[in-house]
Amino acid sequence: MNLPNLEHVRVAKTVNRPGDFLSVAHEPDGDRVWLGHTDFRIYTIDFAVEKPEAQEVFAEHTSYVSSLVLHGDSLISASWDRTLRWWNIRDRKPLRSVAAHQRWIRQLDLHASSNRLASVADDMTCKLWEADSGKPVRTLSGFEARIPRWDYPNKLFACAFSPDGRHLAAADELCRVVVWEADSGREAARFDATGFFKEDWDRNNHPYGGIRCLRFSPDGRTLAIAGMENSDVAIINGKGLVQAFDWQAGKKTYEQKIGSNVQLECLAYHPQAAWLVTAVGGAGNGGNISFLDPAEPKVLKDAPATMQTFGFAWGENAESFYTAGRGKALKWHFAPA
């Protein structure tokens, strides 16, 4: 396949909706996406039509829909209401609801071929589920429940499977990264990233920061993490920060700072590893979609995101992608205007 031309990246279609889309999942073999919203609902958008619209489909969560994955005909959603819900996207009916965590669920990841779903929540556990049935497989731990010194609750923001499904990683507010063997639950690695977290006891007297997203490289050897370089708290005013680690050695191999006053909340490798894509969640103006050279710290291309971006999903064959965020959902492609 030919790699998409970054010079031509642009927004192809926009769908507006008040509030924030927090998450997006692409339905294979088409141009349809599913999105979780801060109004507690799940929407679908068919970008194939001339004038796409957000159609409300599911409305049973009782808090923000923080993460979505598609597994066959099932859509699996996670929420701050502590539940995971399975939905049939064909007949558009609920399949099951699982009281999954004690605290707010932040993120999901799916390894479809091994039928494994991972969820992370602020109860500081990473849970493995059978993606088909919703049966619990294993609870993984290894994070501090509290932030040292003044004892604030810790937060577990992100998780990701390795491409082969053998490993699962998660990262917390203290910027600790733990990698487990998915089959056995044995801890395979742990390391602490630096630069994302600030204690700031004297000025604001509360912690702030954390790793907001992480992704394995296509070869599984590198773990990239992203968030914000912390220079202050309460108000987002650091640079976006991406680091990559040889996770088995716990050695940082890459660091890239992006923009200012931004917090990166989306991160994705292109399947052929041509680039690493980041998107800005917290920012005053929405920031950019940034395409990074994963081989060396270099921004290959910045494209104005036009919104704060909270969700990212590749389209068919990674020849397009979708972003979800503040008041909008966008389809992007790499074709000349």
The residues that touch other proteins, with contacts defined as CB under 8 A, are 18-20, 38-40, 62-64, 80-81, 104, 122, 147, 150-153, 155, 201-208, 232-237, 261, 263, 282-286, 308, 326
To other proteins, the closest distance from the beta carbon of 176 in angstroms equals 17
- Please identify, using beta-carbon distances, which residue of 45 and 283 lies nearer to other proteins: 283
Which lies closer to other proteins via its Cβ, residue 30 or residue 284? 284
By beta-carbon proximity to other proteins, the closer residue of 89 and 108 is 108
Q: Give whole-number Cα distances, 327 to 16, 17, 54, in Å.
A: 6, 5, 11
Strand partners, 267: 278
Nearer to other proteins, 68 or 137 (CB): 68
Beta-carbon neighbour count of residue 48 at 10 Å? 11
261: left (phi over 0), alpha (psi -120 to 50) or beta: left
Tell me whether residue 282 or residue 315 sits nearer to other proteins (CB atom).
Answer: 282
**What single-letter amino acid sits at 71?**
H
CB of 33 to other proteins, least distance (A): 22
**C-alpha–C-alpha distance, residues 337 and 265, integer Å:** 28
Q: Tell me the closest approach of the beta carbon of residue 77 to other proteins, in angstroms.
A: 14
> Least distance to other proteins from the beta carbon of 141, Å?
20
**Residue 234 or 295 with smaller CB distance to other proteins:** 234
Task: Provide, rounded to whole angstroms, the least separation between the CB of residue 284 and other proteins.
Answer: 4
In angstroms, what is the minimal distance from the CB of 306 to other proteins?
Answer: 12
- Looking at the Cβ atoms of 167 and 212, the one nearer to other proteins is 212
For the four alpha carbons of 131, 134, 136 and 142, in that order, the dihedral sign comes to positive
Nearest to 233 by CA among 251, 252, 210: 210
What residue spans of the chain are helical by DSSP H?
A: none
In whole angstroms, how close is the CB of 171 to other proteins at the nearest point?
15
Smaller CB distance to other proteins: residue 85 or 270? Answer: 85
In whole angstroms, what separates CA 23 from the centre of its chain? 8
Asked if 82 contacts 76 with a C-beta cutoff of 8 angstroms, the reply is: no
User: At closest approach, how far in Å is the CB of 332 from other proteins?
Assistant: 20
Q: What is the DSSP letter of 203?
A: T
Alpha carbon separation from 178 to 103, 185, 248, 250 (Å, rounded)? 19, 11, 11, 10
Q: Which long-range contacts (CB under 8 A, 24 or more apart) does 283-289 make?
A: 283/236, 283/259, 283/308, 284/236, 286/325, 286/326, 287/240, 287/258, 287/259, 287/262, 288/258, 288/259, 289/9, 289/323, 289/332
